[in-house]
Amino acid sequence: MRKFALLALLMTGACSMNPRLEVPAAPVPPTFAGAQDMEPPSAAAIGWREMFGDARLQRLIALGLENNRDLRVATLNVEAARSQFRVARGAQFPQLDANGSYTRQRTPSSTAAAGLGGALPGGVGAPAGFEFGQFTANAALTSFEIDLFGRLRSQSQAAFERYLGTEEGRRSARIALIASIADAYLNERLATEQLALTEHTLADWNSSLDIARRLREARQGSGLDVAQAEGQVRQAEADLAGGRRAVAEAGNALQLLVGAPLPADLPAPADLMAMDMLTHLPVGLSSDLLTNRPDIRQAERELRASNADVGAARAAFFPRISLTGLFGFTSLAFDKLFKGDNHNWSFTPSITQPIFNGGSLRGSLKLAEVRTSIAVAQYEQAIQVAFREVSDGIAGRETFGMQLASQRQALDAARKRVSLSTLRYKAGLDGRLDLLDAQRTEYAARQAMLNLRRQELSSAAGLYRALGGGDAAAEIEAAVSAGK
């Protein structure tokens, strides 16, 4: 019993060579420029179904969370890291193996005689040799390292931190997927609506071209009017071909993110101008990013793992104490294997002290220290990138509303100009060129209005991702359930 108590004490009494870890302060201002003083908590608490109210988009996100291959790989990476942690943790415990065997052996008479110190007499009755069987049963303790200096513990801690880091990576991939599907859906809606606008405009301009040709035949118009109208129609036809390509490419990108063919029973799409999506998101403080952004938490986990690697590299300079033990039974008869004095045992402690290794241990320690410095820089960079993304989102939140209002006024003015130019052209006060220019201006203003609205919604989705939104556990479960 005392031996087992001593063994348990040796197993649990390991010291740690890990350097003291000081997580660097966030290298960003404490608040975001443009954020309001009394804003509610960050949008990370808003579920993605609340953020994206469009029913069609909700269904697509749910399908993507279930079928997207990148997210599936991220989930499998978590399982791989968990298994790696189990391997590293298992090295801290004794490994016991049990085995049993049976051996049948024959020894020639000449060898047996030599073993007795002389030759057996020849002739009739001389033994032809010895033949026997042997049964063996053993339980072995194979090279158990007593982790006095914490090398195995540091390796286990590093594997555990990397496992937690991959879990954060999976959450980060999930959030990025939600935002990416939303952005791809917005691109698909923009391409579709711009194509519809081009088709409608082309129909109107074909009618105008037909009128110009009839006026020329009636000698009330010129060839210049016809040429201008034809040029306008051909440009619209070119836009139509490009629009069809954009719709196809946007649909392909959306299907890739979803990870499966888009179902035929999807809810009807909403117009961009009327799409249900939150665009004024609260951002909170910059310190909220440290707890809401999985990629920042992942970088911190990698920092902690690298710090543990330094501890393992330090411990490698100290002696390693290992134990190997064997306890078993050997008998010529199976029914007597566990009886009498047939047991055998061995106990082999060993100690290994590195003396000369060509500088490999110092090189390993230096490498671990450099990787820790790299992890510090990557952690700080992750914070700075997150701060920049949120700041960009705030800038969009504060300016897109005003820009849309101005663009809407510009579109109203363009429409009014087309109406007035049409009346003046019919009255003979303006030429055909003035009317065509007014029509092109209105067409460009309507295209710009749709594109600006898409940018506003895309900026809101990007801010939602930058704030770490969409990662609540209940929302995850609801998304998976809805996709089935």
CA distance 476 to 484: 13
CA quadruple 254, 259, 265, 267: dihedral sign: negative
Closest by alpha carbon to 85, among 152, 149, 151?
152
Q: Give residue 293's Cα distance to chain centre.
A: 12
Q: What is the largest CA-CA distance in the chain?
A: 144
Residue with tokens 């063919």: 261
Please report which helix (H) or strand (E) contains residue 369, including its range: helix 360-426
At residue 332, the pLDDT reads 76
Q: Catalogue all structural domains in the chain, each as residue range(s) with its CATH number.
A: 14-95+149-319+362-483 (1.20.1600.10)
Strands annotated E in 246-400? 320-331, 343-352
Tokens read off for 70? 């990148």
Tally Cβ neighbours within 10 Å of residue 10: 15
Enter the DSSP assignment of 150. Answer: S
Dihedral of CA atoms 410, 416, 421, 427 in degrees, nearest 10, equals: -170
Q: Residue 238: which residues within 8 A CB-CB, separation 6 or more? A: none
According to the model, what pLDDT value does residue 114 have?
Answer: 57
Q: How confident is the model at residue 478, as a pLDDT?
A: 44
**Residue 482 has what pLDDT?**
42
Point out which residues pair with 277 in neighbouring strands: 52
**Which pLDDT does position 14 carry in this prediction?**
59
- Residues 288, 26 contacting (CB under 8 angstroms): no
pLDDT (tens, 9 = 90+) of the chain, 484 residues, equals: 455 444 554 555 557 788 888 888 888 887 777 666 556 666 778 889 999 999 999 999 999 999 999 999 998 999 999 898 888 888 888 888 888 888 888 777 666 555 555 554 544 444 566 777 787 888 887 778 888 888 888 889 899 999 999 999 999 999 999 999 999 999 999 999 999 999 999 998 888 888 788 877 777 777 887 888 888 899 999 999 999 999 999 999 999 999 999 999 999 999 999 999 988 888 877 777 888 889 999 999 999 999 999 998 988 888 888 888 888 888 777 777 777 777 788 888 888 888 888 888 899 899 998 999 999 999 999 999 999 999 899 899 889 999 999 999 999 999 999 999 888 877 777 777 788 889 899 999 999 999 999 999 999 999 999 988 865 444 444 444 444 4
CA–CA gap between residue 151 and residue 311 (Å, rounded): 7
Alpha carbon distance, N-terminus to C-terminus of the chain: 56
C-alpha dist (Å) from residue 270 to 188, 394, 448 = 12, 25, 19
Amino acid at 438: A
